[in-house]
Structure 1
Amino acid sequence: MNKLDFLFFSKRREHHYIPPHFHECYELVYYYGSGETRIGKEFYSFREHTFALVTPFVEHDELHAAESDVLFVGFFSDREGLANLSGLYEDDEKRSIETILLRMKDEFMQQREDFSDMLNLMAGGLAIHLLRHIGTKKPLKQQTDRMQYVLNYMDEHFRQKISIPALADLAGYSYGRFRHLFKEKYGVAPLQYLYIKRLNYAKSSLLLHPDKLVSEIALDAGFVNDAQFCSMFKRENGMSPKRYRQLVKSGNLPETKGNL
């Protein structure tokens, strides 16, 4: 059975993150930009004219480094061998895979008579081309620096609620191992890293928005409440946020710590 399940062409903004998810069908994601993806337990760095093939029920996510287009399709196929090909691959010089996807996109957009049946036939053709194109090839080299992948995620989402166990799972390590490796590589514990990012963001907000309430800045930066923010701010900078703001206005701001 060969059947198209979905087809989309969209633009991803800079640092756009697609959280972990899976499909009941195969998914092929064709990239026109750069970034990182996790397919199952393997990490890859994608670039223009590479594509990810994800088999059914395999969890995957994406982090885009810059604004770019992406074309992705979901399809069902009973072709033997396809189920073992999860990974990131590079299109050939003729852009054979891209050509097939663009034809499918064109058929989908025009919706001529019996377009649904045609798309199902094209999904079957795509499965054959994938087997021919990557059936004898290995996926592109896996990204070995999993900690950098997680760090990029933290840099993008530090203002949101992030659990350290979830980050450890994202990196593929146990909680204890992740904390140890992170501190060894970056010099601070992962939770401390998040707090410093939030404090630096809050300091910038105090400068850029002199009339904004401290409580609003605290919540916007990702702190639980303004009490937590004020306590950590004073510990890291030797003064309260209010005093910091006063010194900024007077032009007598001393050098503070807390920068990464």
Structure 2
Amino acid sequence: MIWLNQTMGATGMNNMDFLFFSRRREKQYIPSHFHECFELVYYYGKGHTKIGSTAYHFRQNTFALVAPFTEHDELHLNEADVLFVGFYSEREGLSYLNGVFEDDQDGTIENILLRMKDEFVKQQDDFSDMLNLLVGELSIQLLRLIGTRKAPKQQSDRMNYVLNFMDEHFRQKISIQALADLAGYSYGRFRHLFKEKYGVAPLQYLYVKRLNYARSSLILHPEKLVSEVALDAGFVNDAQFCSMFKRENGISPKQYRLSKIWKNN
């Protein structure tokens, strides 16, 4: 098993996040999970996977493409190799391609992944840059191979999907870039469309959700420290939480809790 997990210094549109190749055991189950980036899983065996709400079968020389923040699992029916790659891409249309697909007769997708594997194993000069270039090639080939097979969602459907995701996962660490990827837009375009549709910037929307949750938690769980409430609500630390809370409510979290307790008594 070989694993690469790197943080790229470049801010280009195509960036490698992780590369992973290993062997899965017979009847091995990978529990449901999601990533902040795209994930491509190339199969050499048989099994089942659920991507979002849709179940798929996979077999040799098929691959799963999973959009950011999309929950998915796997059940491997026989012992076989797998290749994983996690990556970021701003190419519009890529986010619509959740599913399991068959590689072409030339093994185009497999060849790119094997070149990535070779680059990582040899680690020649500037291999990280080469991996990022291969991510760009992979994004293009995915769109060529399967991009025309699925019709894009309407803009309102995309934004509603992202809003529902934010409502469900606001307590977790979520970057605006990842939300933009999920919607299939660039960072700037996503922020503009979100504010235009919902009247508030996406980051501000998350903060409001976290503050509302924290207010309720302060009253419902008086035994919890303010720092615990802050982290549970999704804030980076209690200092950030207290600053934002006081700015929005005029009093500190402790004062807010005491005022509610006195009022109820």
Q: Which residue of 2 aligns with 1:161?
A: 173
2:215 aligned residue (199, 203, 212): 203
Q: Which residue of 2 aligns with 1:112?
A: none
Q: Which residue of 2 aligns with 1:17?
A: 34
Aligned-partner residue type, residue 157 of structure 1? H
- CA distance in 2: counterparts of 1:18 and 1:229, whole angstroms: 26
Matched, 1:80 2:92: no
CA spacing shift, 1:165–1:25, aligned 2, 3 Å: closer
Matched, 1:149 2:161: yes
Determine if contact 2:36/2:68 at 8 Å carries over to the other structure. Answer: yes
- CA distance in 1: counterparts of 2:81 and 2:164, whole angstroms: 27
For residue 180 of structure 1, report the CA deviation from its aligned partner.
Answer: 1.1
Q: Which residue of 2 aligns with 1:249?
A: 261
Q: Which residue of 1 aligns with 2:236?
A: 224
CA spacing shift, 1:24–1:11, aligned 2, 3 Å: closer
- CA distance in 1: counterparts of 2:230 and 2:259, whole angstroms: 19
Q: Which residue of 1 aligns with 2:204?
A: 192
For residue 206 of structure 1, report the CA deviation from its aligned partner.
Answer: 0.6
Q: Which residue of 1 aligns with 2:226?
A: 214
SS in 1 for 2:185: coil
Aligned-partner residue type, residue 193 of structure 1? Y
For residue 227 of structure 1, report the CA deviation from its aligned partner.
Answer: 2.9
Q: Which residue of 1 aligns with 2:248?
A: 236
Aligned-partner residue type, residue 174 of structure 2? I
SS in 1 for 2:70: strand
Question: Residues 80-119 of structure 1 correspond to what in structure 2 (within 5 A)?
Answer: 80=105
Number of corresponding residues: 180
For residue 200 of structure 1, report the CA deviation from its aligned partner.
Answer: 1.6
Determine if contact 1:5/1:25 at 8 Å carries over to the other structure. Answer: no
CA spacing shift, 1:9–1:224, aligned 2, 3 Å: closer
CA spacing shift, 1:71–1:207, aligned 2, 3 Å: same
- CA deviation string 1:43-89 (max 9, x = no partner): xxx44x5568996695644634xxx97546876988628869xxxxx
CA spacing shift, 1:60–1:5, aligned 2, 3 Å: farther
- CA deviation string 1:183-233 (max 9, x = no partner): 122221101011011112211221222122212322332223323212221
Question: Residues 104-143 of structure 1 correspond to what in structure 2 (within 5 A)?
Answer: 142-143=152-153
Q: Which residue of 1 aligns with 2:189?
A: 177
Q: Which residue of 2 aligns with 1:63?
A: 70
- CA distance in 2: counterparts of 1:78 and 1:223, whole angstroms: 42
**Structure 2 segments unaligned to the other structure (5+ residues):** 1-21, 84-101, 110-147
SS in 2 for 1:80: coil
Root mean square deviation, CA, Å: 4.2
Determine if contact 1:55/1:83 at 8 Å carries over to the other structure. Answer: no
Percent of pairs with identical residues:
55
- CA distance in 1: counterparts of 2:184 and 2:161, whole angstroms: 11
Determine if contact 2:63/2:103 at 8 Å carries over to the other structure. Answer: no
**Structure 1 segments unaligned to the other structure (5+ residues):** 37-45, 85-137, 254-260
SS in 2 for 1:63: coil
TM-score, normalised by the number of residues in structure 1: 0.52
Determine if contact 1:22/1:56 at 8 Å carries over to the other structure. Answer: no
- CA distance in 2: counterparts of 1:226 and 1:191, whole angstroms: 18
Q: Which residue of 2 aligns with 1:258?
A: none
